[in-house]
Structure 1
Amino acid sequence: MSERTGSRVSRRTLIGGAVATGAAATGVAAAATMEQEQPFETAQRPVPERRPNFLIVLGDDLGWGDLSSYGAPTIRTPHLDRLAASGVRFTNGYSASSVCSPTRFGLYTGRYPGRLHGGLGEPLAEKNDVDGIPTDHPTLASLLKGVGYETAMLGKWHCGFLPSFSPTRVGWDEFFGNFGGAVDYFSKIDTSGIHDLYEGEVEAEDLRYYTHALTERAVEYIARPREHPWLLNLNFTTPHWPWEGPQDRAVSEDLTRRVVNGDGLLAHFDGGSLGVYRSMVEDLDRSVGRVLAALDHGGQIHDTVVLFASDNGGERFSYVWPFTGGKYTLNEGGIRVPTILSWPGTLPRGRVSHEPVITMDWTATIVELAGARPDEEHPFDGTSLVPYLLRGQALPERPLFWRMHDWRALRAGTLKYLQTDDGSDHLYDLSADQHEQADLVDLRPDDLDRLRAAWEKIAGDQLPYD
């Protein structure tokens, strides 16, 4: 008997219909949607007997304010805005790090990135037999696979390189994507000028715009007939550099030639613009809309938990107001990210939650919803949100922790301890100062000492940096 035999529901149930499609394309409509949100209230909610599918969609270097539902002044993201309206929009959603690979280690293992040597790379770049997720380490995919889930990853892996590491060796049945941190959107060369696109562990060719290629594969995966629930990690590289929109093949050809010849950088410091960035984000939004439409077409909306987030804060062209900092920093702009959760028919629609949550919490949450358990020898550092979302229980207070080579941060309640790359300590009350400008370090020394000691305790049982 199939676990995926839920009744077909209209796309209108999820995204509000054709009328909303036109309206949400304006900033006024997005602002109105945010004003109409109701606070999320924890409550006992009935849960379907069949286990849900999980669609986890990651943007790459997508800033806090790059979606219109998060205040983008010029970028329009109607599909992601409607996804937010169909479920819960989190205003205190955090990534595990302010760079790519450590957050992915956190998501895939449910543990602080610093518990594995590969998680110390910020970001991971060296190809060796140490820096990756070992084949005997449990992952989100292996835990769900152990209770009957089909699993796939599409897009950016960035948790270790061949020949030593691969997603298909740690729980994902299928993989189509890139191993490293960045690729050209058309040629698929990496920062070294080497081709980086694989089907499983076999090099693959696909010259389509990368966001579109991943979208097509996701649509195909969702449409397959199957007897078991599934997990799909859909890891877009958008809007990470290089700055290439769907119409920028000529830019790609020039940049690829220069990178291969050694006289250009894929980081593209001589390219890009706010207009190009907008085209990349809006194309990402349309692509997510296509994937959500595939869920609707297959009658799987009520059967699927959809999580959308970014792997870290925004880069050069991102909009992160009202925060400061960005990628590579532990200011709010580097770690506070748009975070949306939707499960129509189970979670209420049109809700906003101000509870602080972090990447590893989602691992623990998904594992519990799937009916799996964490490995006893590798306990999660995240907290399952299931009691908060579905059982009427308050989310327990616990510190949120970050560690990078030259930065440290810890949030406890509304207070945030921050040590910047010059070694100086700071203390902010985020309830009054999200911009991190009113430094309380001299006014509240006892709180500084308390949060700093909490940081030291958590850091104490993690791997040291080399």
Structure 2
Amino acid sequence: MIRKKIACLCIHIITGLLIALTGSGQSASAQQAPAPINKPNVIFICADDLGYGDLSCYGATKIKTPNLDKLAAQGIRFTNGHCTSATCTPSRYAFMTGQYPWRKAGTAILPGDAALIIPVTGTTLPKIFQKAGYKTGIVGKWYLGLGNEVAKDWNGEIKPGPNETGFDYSFIFPATADRVPTVFIENHTITALDPADPIAVDYKTKIGNEPTGKENPELLKLQSTPNHGHNNTIVNGIGRIGFMTGGKIARWTDEEMPLTFLQKAKNFIEENKRNSFFLYYALTEPHVPRMPSTIFKGKSGLGLRGDAILQLDWAVGEIMKQVKIAGIEKNTLIIFSSDNGPVLDDGYLDGAVTQLNGHTPWGPLRGGKYSAFEAGTRVPFIVSWPGKVQPHTSGALICQIDFIASFAKMLGQNIPAGEAYDSENMLDALLGKTNTGRTTLVQQGGALSIVKGDWKYITPNDGPANTGPKLTNIETGNLPTPQLYNLKEDIGEKNNLAQKYPDKVKELSALLETIKNKTP
């Protein structure tokens, strides 16, 4: 009896010591590991101007992308994955809101000082995750406007912006790397800004006395091509679109900027590994100006554009490593895609054209950025979730606009009537449970087009058939007469079947009008 009491007393003493040492009934090692999570973390990595044929897992032979190849090999490689639009602002608007961007005026390519175009009320992609208890973050390119007006004070709090649209944390630059202001904004304020050197921005009139690419081409380390507008204020030896003064200390260099974004993304993962989190990691590569970090320069043999793709692939590998180090690999869903198709000469003489060396950024497709042809919106699209998603290739028609409805389904969240109404629940296709995706998709390029099954109809458009050699030299898909293609037999859209199948043209034209007239 006495021995039993002594044994019980010892157990109580040991238990008390453990509680005192660890702060709970858990072991110290259990406390250090991330807590079990029922809902997966989601990381959406979005490249910028990356083409369907730019990755070796999508058939590229002149460049190797081992980290993205690995991501595709352990997940689903979609061969019919799309953004909605052949340019970046509208495609980003679409996956943020679940609404086709051509429904709303002001969603075309924005100047660097544009006002916010994402509604601060209503449903957005990050708000779906917030409502499900997730921590949400964006790191990288934003390009959806800031503030309520074009005229804004860059030296105080800059809002509304990403935080007001559903992100708990944001670390961005305002527009694109070829536009001023070339600064980082963390949540609402510019980082490292000296109050004694305030920033001013103007997109119409030159301000200050800083050298410009037009007036001082001898100061450029990366020459710009004519007609693109990259000849205004010089920052880091590169002419930009728009004029800027002040903020000397706050300005980033192009070689440093992507590495800073990568570190901020890794920090977000580490800080939130014990929570459920959604991270939108918006890469800047291979958008112009292409000035990758020195360790990647000259490594691809395809000019600075190819070097930027190597840097992009490395960054994806670093994110994969960070997820593994955090111990959350099996509970993290990673999506990789691009905001639109490829472009070579987009304003700078960087070797993208002269050092192409047989590489085909568009793969077997026709067109590219700015185009209604498939290369404008059909982009790399990879989904990986180890242990949950079985590795395979899928031909399901899917689109980034469907993220809202799909994740709302996964997380048990309701979408209010009249919101995100172009977004469809494609969760089973995204998780590889079916190879059946959308039945129809409206694409926005030089003209609107619609895909239904194997058929694609491009609406008549009087615009130029090519952007021209003085600009990007890309086929726009514009033609004053209807175009009809069978994508199963003719993925390169070479054989216009509109005259052969007039009934199919009539059917798809009517369907497109029905979708255009759809109201909440």
Give TM-score, length-normalised by structure 2: 0.70
SS of equivalent to 1:117: coil
- Highest relative contact order (Cα 8 Å, sep 6+), 1 or 2? 1
Equivalent of 1:434 in 474, 477, 491: 491
Query: Structure 1, residues 215-253: CA drift from partner, whole Å, max 9, x if none?
Result: 1111111111554300000001100011212129999xx
SS of equivalent to 2:337: strand
CA deviation after TM superposition for structure 1 residue 274, in Å? 2.7
> Which stretch of structure 1 is more off in the superposition, 78-87 or 358-367?
358-367
2:75, 2:386 within 8 Å by CA — same for their partners in 1? yes
CA deviation after TM superposition for structure 1 residue 397, in Å? 4.8
Query: Structure 1, residues 232-287: CA drift from partner, whole Å, max 9, x if none?
Result: 00001100011212129999xxxxxxxxxxxxxxxxxxxx9932111110111011
Equivalent of 1:173 in 147, 168, 171: 168
Equivalent of 1:377 in 414, 418, 422: 418
- Is the counterpart of residue 449 in structure 1 residue 506 in structure 2? yes
The AA in structure 1 aligned to 2:480 is G
Equivalent of 1:143 in 123, 128, 151: 128
The AA in structure 2 aligned to 1:56 is F
CA deviation after TM superposition for structure 1 residue 390, in Å? 5.5
- Structure 1 distance, partners of 2:265, 2:498, is 48
- Is the counterpart of residue 195 in structure 1 residue 182 in structure 2? yes
Gap change, CA 1:320 and 1:81, over 3 Å in 2: same
Matching residue of 2:466: none
- Is the counterpart of residue 414 in structure 1 residue 401 in structure 2? no
- Is the counterpart of residue 81 in structure 1 residue 69 in structure 2? yes
Gap change, CA 1:359 and 1:225, over 3 Å in 2: closer
Gap change, CA 1:337 and 1:241, over 3 Å in 2: same
- Is the counterpart of residue 308 in structure 1 residue 336 in structure 2? yes
Matching residue of 1:282: 310
- Is the counterpart of residue 132 in structure 1 residue 117 in structure 2? yes
1:114, 1:462 within 8 Å by CA — same for their partners in 2? no
Matching residue of 2:143: 158
The AA in structure 1 aligned to 2:69 is D
Gap change, CA 1:391 and 1:344, over 3 Å in 2: closer
CA deviation after TM superposition for structure 1 residue 173, in Å? 0.7
Equivalent of 1:322 in 364, 369, 394: 364
Gap change, CA 1:6 and 1:116, over 3 Å in 2: farther
CA deviation after TM superposition for structure 1 residue 422, in Å? 3.8
1:302, 1:345 within 8 Å by CA — same for their partners in 2? yes
The AA in structure 1 aligned to 2:137 is A
- Structure 1 distance, partners of 2:48, 2:310, is 14
Once the two structures are superposed, the pairs formed by residues 258-277 of structure 1 within 5 Å of their partners are 274-277=302-305
- Structure 1 distance, partners of 2:429, 2:401, is 15
Gap change, CA 1:428 and 1:391, over 3 Å in 2: closer
Matching residue of 1:355: 396
The structure with more radius of gyration:
2
- Structure 2 distance, partners of 1:248, 1:344, is 31
Equivalent of 1:245 in 282, 292, 298: 292
Gap change, CA 1:431 and 1:388, over 3 Å in 2: same
Report how many residues are paired. 390
Matching residue of 1:386: 427
Matching residue of 1:212: 259
CA deviation after TM superposition for structure 1 residue 393, in Å? 5.5
- Structure 2 distance, partners of 1:374, 1:115, is 19
1:55, 1:305 within 8 Å by CA — same for their partners in 2? yes
The AA in structure 1 aligned to 2:452 is A
CA deviation after TM superposition for structure 1 residue 150, in Å? 0.3
SS of equivalent to 1:302: helix
Unaligned runs of 5+ in 2: 1-23, 150-159, 192-249, 345-351, 353-359, 460-476
- Structure 2 distance, partners of 1:136, 1:402, is 26
Query: Structure 1, residues 190-225: CA drift from partner, whole Å, max 9, x if none?
Result: 42x433421112112344522211111111111115
Unaligned runs of 5+ in 1: 10-47, 184-189, 252-271
1:116, 1:133 within 8 Å by CA — same for their partners in 2? no
Gap change, CA 1:303 and 1:65, over 3 Å in 2: same
1:400, 1:411 within 8 Å by CA — same for their partners in 2? yes
